[in-house]
Structure 1
Amino acid sequence: MNYPRYDYSAGNELNIFEFESIGNKGKIKKIVQYTEMSIKGYFNLGFGDLDLKTREINDEIITNNGDGQKVLATVVSTLYSFTGKNPDAYVYATGSSESRTRLYRMGITNNLEELKKDFFVFGLRNDNVFESFIVGEDYLGFLVTRKK
Structure 2
Amino acid sequence: MKKEVYEYVKIEDHTLYQFFSYGPKGLIRKLIQFNLVQRIPLIFNLELGKALSGNKIDTSSVTDNKDTNKILLSVTEAIIEFLNERREALVFLEGSTPARTRLFQIWIARIFDQHRGFISIEGRIKNNWYLFEKGKSFDAFLIKKKNINQ
TM tier relative to shorter chain = over 0.9
Coordinate RMSD, CA, aligned: 1.2
8 Å contact 1:123–1:140 — kept in the other structure?
A: yes
Give the stretch that moved more between structures: 79-88 or 31-40.
31-40
Name the residue aligned to 1:144: 143
TM normalised by structure 2 equals 0.92
Name the residue aligned to 1:35: 35
Aligned ranges 1:85-100 → 2 under 5 Å: 85-100=85-100
Q: CA deviation at 1:42?
A: 0.6
8 Å contact 1:42–1:89 — kept in the other structure?
A: yes
8 Å contact 1:29–1:49 — kept in the other structure?
A: yes
Cα distance in structure 2, aligned partners of 1:30 and 1:39 = 27
Long gaps (5+) in structure 2: none
Q: CA deviation at 1:39?
A: 4.3
Equivalent pairs, count: 145
Structure 1 runs of 4+ aligned residues shifted over 2 Å read: none
Name the residue aligned to 1:55: 55
Aligned ranges 1:3-14 → 2 under 5 Å: 3-11=3-11, 13-14=13-14
Aligned ranges 1:124-139 → 2 under 5 Å: 124-126=124-126, 128-139=127-138
Cα distance in structure 2, aligned partners of 1:55 and 1:13 = 13
Q: % of aligned pairs identical?
A: 26
Name the residue aligned to 2:46: 45
**Amino acid of the structure 1 residue aligned with 2:26:** G
Long gaps (5+) in structure 1: none
TM normalised by structure 1 equals 0.93
- Is 1:78 the counterpart of 2:78? The answer is yes
